[in-house]
Copies of this chain bind each other. A is one copy, B any other.
Amino acid sequence: MKTLFDDIPTDLPEELHEILADKKHVRIERIVSTGHASPDGFWCDQEECEWVVVLKGEAKFLFEGYDEPVHMKPGGFVNIPAHRRHRVEWTTPDEPTVWLAVFYKD
């Protein structure tokens, strides 16, 4: 049985998004970052809501309006309402960061 921790690339030109389930009201993705972050000054503004957890590695996640990012470690999760502007400030360059993301509509 393939797991979320198999076939983790260690060096990626861009963040990797893999769709695990694509249903009428929900899409589940594995995301792998290898040191990726949102471009400077860029805020992500999504049509969909996203519930996302870090399963491996580490990340710093920032909602617009906050001064300090949240340091996410394995098991740390956040819910992002649609159009709630946010960015990933940092992911650890020392190992891949594996996220599990559940995208849904309100």
Contact = CB atoms under 8 A, between A and B. Distances in A.
B73 A25 contact: no
Interface SS of chain A: strand
Stoichiometry, as copies per complex, reads 2
Contact of A21 (B1, B4, B51, B71): B51
Given A23-B106, A102-B102, A75 B28 contact: no
A75 B56 CA distance: 10
Determine the interface band of chain A, counting residues with CB < 8 A from chain B. 20 to 34
A105 B25 contact: yes
Interface of A: 1-6, 20-21, 23-26, 28, 49, 51, 53, 55, 70-77, 79, 100, 102, 104-106
24 contacts: A1-B72, A1-B73, A3-B75, A3-B77, A4-B75, A6-B75, A21-B51, A21-B79, A21-B102, A23-B49, A23-B104, A23-B106, A24-B105, A25-B25, A25-B26, A25-B104, A26-B26, A26-B51, A26-B104, A28-B51, A53-B100, A55-B55, A100-B100, A102-B102
